[in-house]
């Protein structure tokens, strides 16, 4: 089966595929959508998702036991992995190891779209508690970057 790609004014789209909310609700992310490219309808052990962040938007700062395998598909942005902020452009690869703080931010003048591969059977993300947030906020590199 083939799903056709098209670039619409509101973002990347595939035939017969729903654009989903990134998460139910929250103030810890901004301007981000989710599409499950593979692994929802199919009997796969992994899901391949496509996330698209509007210019100036960001994903949730979080960590979890499962790994992330990311390929940037379009746009420009920065990603925090552990204590390092990386600039990313298409088709850079980003690997996030278990229990590593990470956050994706789109550029202020450009959105950011990326594929993210995860196991279907995975743990729930954890957000920083008050103490961890304080430590992250005062970190010389991370402090300016993160959005909580």
Nearer to a second copy, 115 or 133 (CB): 115
Asked if residue 3 binds a second copy (CB under 8 A), the reply is yes
Q: How many residues does the chain have?
A: 148
The active-site residue out of 48, 70, 79, 116 is 116
Largest CA distance in the chain: 50
Please count the other Cβ atoms lying within 10 Å of the Cβ belonging to residue 59.
27
Whether 32 and 61 have beta carbons less than 8 Å apart is answered as no
Whether 33 and 50 have beta carbons less than 8 Å apart is answered as no
- The one segment of 18-26, 66-74, 101-109, 123-131 that binds a second copy by CB under 8 A: 66-74
Nearer to a second copy, 25 or 43 (CB): 43
Is it true that the peptide bond before 124 is cis, omega within 30 degrees of 0? no
Asked if residue 19 binds a second copy (CB under 8 A), the reply is no
Asked if residue 4 binds a second copy (CB under 8 A), the reply is yes
Q: Which of 19, 36, 94, 133 binds a second copy (CB under 8 A)?
A: 94
SS3 for 130?
A: helix
Q: Which of 11, 40, 55, 115 binds a second copy (CB under 8 A)?
A: 115
- 17: phi then psi, degrees, rounded to nearest 5: -130, 130
Q: Which of 19, 36, 37, 132 binds a second copy (CB under 8 A)?
A: 37
Task: Say whether 116 is catalytic.
Answer: yes
Q: CA-CA distance, 134 to 94, in Å (whole number)? A: 26
Chain contacts with a second copy (rule: CB under 8 A): 1-5, 12, 14, 37-39, 42-46, 48, 67, 69, 71-73, 79, 81, 86, 88-95, 97, 115, 117, 119
Active site residues: 116
């Amino acid at each position: 089966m083939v799903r056709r790609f098209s670039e619409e004014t509101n973002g990347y789209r595939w035939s017969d595929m729903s654009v989903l909310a990134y998460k139910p609700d929250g103030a810890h992310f901004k301007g981000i959508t989710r599409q499950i490219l593979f692994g929802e309808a199919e009997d796969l052990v992994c899901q391949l998702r496509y996330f698209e962040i509007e210019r100036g938007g960001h994903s949730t700062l979080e960590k979890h036991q499962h790994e992330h395998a990311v390929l940037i598909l379009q746009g420009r942005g920065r990603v925090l992995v552990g204590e390092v902020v990386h600039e990313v452009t298409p088709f850079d690869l980003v690997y996030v190891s278990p229990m590593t703080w990470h956050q994706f931010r789109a550029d202020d003048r450009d959105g950011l779209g990326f594929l993210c591969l995860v196991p279907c059977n995975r743990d729930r993300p954890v957000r920083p508690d008050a103490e961890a947030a304080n430590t992250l906020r005062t970190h010389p590199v991370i402090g300016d970057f993160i959005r909580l």
